[in-house]
Amino acid sequence: MRYDSITEAIGNTPLVRIDPAVHGLRNIDLYAKLEMLNPFGSVKDRAAWSMARPLLDEAVEHGSQVVELSSGNTAKALAVIAGMHGLGFRSVTNRMRVPEIKDLLLLLGAEIEELPGQSECLDPTATDDPLTLFHRTLSASGSAYLHTDQYFNPRNTEAHLTGTGPEIVKDLDGRVPDWFVACVGTAGSSTGVARALREEDPSVRVLGLVGAKSDFIPGIRTIDEVQEVGLFDPETYDTMESVSADEAIEGMLTLNRRCGILGGPTGGAAYFGAVRHLRAVDEELSERRTAVFIVCDRVESYLSYVRQRRPDLLGRPPRKNSPADLSDAEIGAAPSIGVAGARHWIDTDRPLVVDLRSPFAYAALHIDGSVNIVDELFAELLRGGLPFSRRQPVLLACPVGEQSARYAALLTRMGHPDVRSLAGGIIAWRDAGAPLVRD
């Protein structure tokens, strides 16, 4: 495979059979269309390229900025394509809730604008939602923008009508699968593929998956939100079903861990929804059938999404010398000293004063002569053993004396003979009128 441009590597993604031992369907061969293997990482590479390509020459001539309402994958592909052509890219969205994706877009040179949250005190007479205002700005400003308009642009659908759909048929040796399963975001991929398959064989069943209403699955819409999509036509789907965020993650885990397919939550939702739907049908079958679902993108960008919903999946074994495994009794027994005592102790024995707060708070105001080791860093230090000599007395300080008590207990347990926690913390110190400096 040799190409002159990375955009030539868009499409022709693999169709991979899922091991029946994993999905448990007896009569149905289930295939995953790995759109995550497109060069910019997702199924949206096709749509982005299809929508932008015919307009690029003119945009370059006018130095236009590429603009799209996108929370992730389309923005990613468009940012790359714009950058390759020396154009800027701006994404406006109210759906970008995954921090890694934001950072990645910034890295790719995108400018991101987030729409504000809903008003608490509604003005029921207000007719302008921020999106309407955005569209108005675009149309008022002449041609300085290349607006790809993915939710309404027929070239989004077309990329899949001429690409994704026919590729599936070709890889199934000219046969159309009996079921096609896809998550609905812009509806471009599901609509395009469904149309391509139906043209070959109208008996194909199309299952559209949406997110459960109260849940958030990045990249797909809920049953109400799809109604706002110009490309969405309920006739496209024989069935619409919804998938919860938990189910999407469950499906994703199966793909990741048991199939070696490192797909993200929408791929997981498609797999989960496909198996759930097909299981009932499978019982009734006597001959072999085929189903295809789409894995839209990769898992790597969704780690914080997973951490938020399933922290257990990212759990690590407990660490040595961790303040977390102290008992309440140990913490209660930690040596401490009040403000007056501490001031005297500092004057007489010159203990090392360690301030556990963040550097910003420390910089603002601190005890004269203290050193700042923020608690997270201090915890890391202690994993390796005592960080100071046993002969050096230590006074630990934090805001209210709670964390310092923990660490005083831990250091005592680790064998330090003279460590104390400042009772009541820096707040008690301030309230007692003891001096704080910024230097």
Binding interface with ligand PLP (CB under 6 A): 120-121
Q: Does 411 sit near other proteins (CB under 8 A)?
A: no
Query: What minimum distance in Å lies between the beta carbon of 122 and ligand PLP?
Result: 11
- Assess 430 for contact with other proteins (CB under 8 A): yes
Piece of 4-12, 50-58, 320-328, 399-407 that binds other proteins (CB under 8 A)? 399-407
Contacts by residues 61-67 (CB-CB < 8 Å, ≥ 24 positions apart): 62/143, 62/144, 63/87, 63/144, 64/143, 64/144, 64/145, 64/146, 65/89, 65/90, 65/144, 65/145, 65/146, 66/90, 66/145, 66/146, 66/148, 67/91, 67/92, 67/138, 67/145, 67/146, 67/147, 67/148
Q: Does 308 bind other proteins (CB under 8 A)?
A: no
Q: Quick one: which of 294, 280, 77, 73 has its CA closest to 183?
A: 294
Q: Does 360 bind other proteins (CB under 8 A)?
A: yes
- Nearer to other proteins by Cβ, of 192 and 425: the residue is 425
* Closer to other proteins by Cβ: residue 233 or 300: 233
Q: Which is nearer to ligand PLP, 120 or 439 (CB)?
A: 120
Please say which residue, 137 or 389, places its beta carbon nearer to other proteins: 137
Q: Does 114 bind other proteins (CB under 8 A)?
A: yes
The count of residues in the chain is 439
- The C-alpha atoms of residue 250 and residue 248 are separated, in whole angstroms, by 5
For the beta carbon of residue 385, count every other beta carbon within 10 angstroms: 10
Figure out which of the listed residues 20, 24, 109, 130 binds other proteins, where binding follows CB under 8 A.
Answer: 130
* Shortest CB 9 distance to ligand PLP, Å: 52
Report what 432 binds from other proteins, ligand PLP, none; CB cut-off 5-8 Å by kind. none
**Least separation in angstroms between CB 228 and ligand PLP:** 28
Cβ distance 13 to 38 under 8 Å? yes
- CA-based angle 372:375:381, to the nearest 5? 90
For the bound state, the minimum distance from the C-beta of residue 74 to other proteins, rounded and expressed in Å, comes to: 17
3-state secondary structure at position 111: strand
Tokens representing residue 320 in the block: 């040595």
Among 5, 118, 203, 286, binds other proteins (CB under 8 A): 118
Interface residue with other proteins, options 9, 15, 108, 131 (CB under 8 A)? 131
Q: Is 230 in the site for other proteins (CB under 8 A)?
A: yes
Copy the structure tokens of residue 88.
């800027």
Kindly state whether residue 437 participates in binding other proteins, applying the rule CB under 8 A: no
Q: How far apart are the C-alpha atoms of 223 and 244, rounded to whole Å?
A: 12
> From CA 353, how far away is CA 355, in angstroms rounded?
6
Q: Which C-beta is closer to ligand PLP: that of 21 or that of 121? A: 121
Do residues 193 and 165 lie in contact, with contact meaning Cβ atoms separated by under 8 Å? yes
| Distance, CA of 161 to CA of 192 (rounded, Å) | 4
Q: Which of 40, 180, 232, 407 binds other proteins (CB under 8 A)?
A: 232
- Taking the least distance from each CB to other proteins, the nearer of 16 and 361 is 361
Are 306 and 313 spatial neighbours (Cβ–Cβ below 8 Å)? Answer: yes
Separation between Cα atoms, residue 331 and residue 35, nearest integer Å? 53
Sheet hosting strand 239-243, strand order edge to edge: 15-17, 28-34, 289-295, 179-183, 205-211, 239-243
**How many chain residues bind other proteins (CB under 8 A)?**
51
Distance, CA of 393 to chain centre: 46
Query: Segment near other proteins (CB under 8 A), from 81-89, 192-200, 316-324, 393-401?
Result: 393-401
Which residue(s) pair with 145 in the sheet?
A: 65
Residue keyed to tokens 């739907």? 277
Contact predicate 411/419, CB 8 Å:
yes
Measure the CA–CA gap between 109 and 434, rounded to whole angstroms: 49
Between 365 and 423, CB nearer to other proteins: 365
Q: How far is C-alpha 439 from the chain's CA centre?
A: 40
Q: Of the ranges 102-110, 142-150, 381-389, 405-413, which one interacts with other proteins (CB under 8 A)?
A: 102-110
Q: At closest approach, how far in Å is the CB of 95 from ligand PLP?
A: 24
Contact range with other proteins by CB under 8 A, out of 74-82, 111-119, 191-199, 257-265: 111-119
- For residue 75, state whether it binds other proteins (rule: CB under 8 A): no
With CB under 5 to 8 Å by kind, the binding choice for 54 among ligand PLP, other proteins, none is: none
Our finding on whether 140 is near other proteins (CB under 8 A) is no
Determine the interface stretch with other proteins among 19-27, 113-121, 197-205, 244-252 (rule: CB under 8 A): 113-121
Q: List residues binding other proteins (CB under 8 A).
A: 92, 96, 102-103, 106, 111-122, 124, 126-127, 129-132, 213-214, 223-224, 227-230, 232-233, 357-362, 364-365, 374, 398-400, 402, 426-427, 430, 438
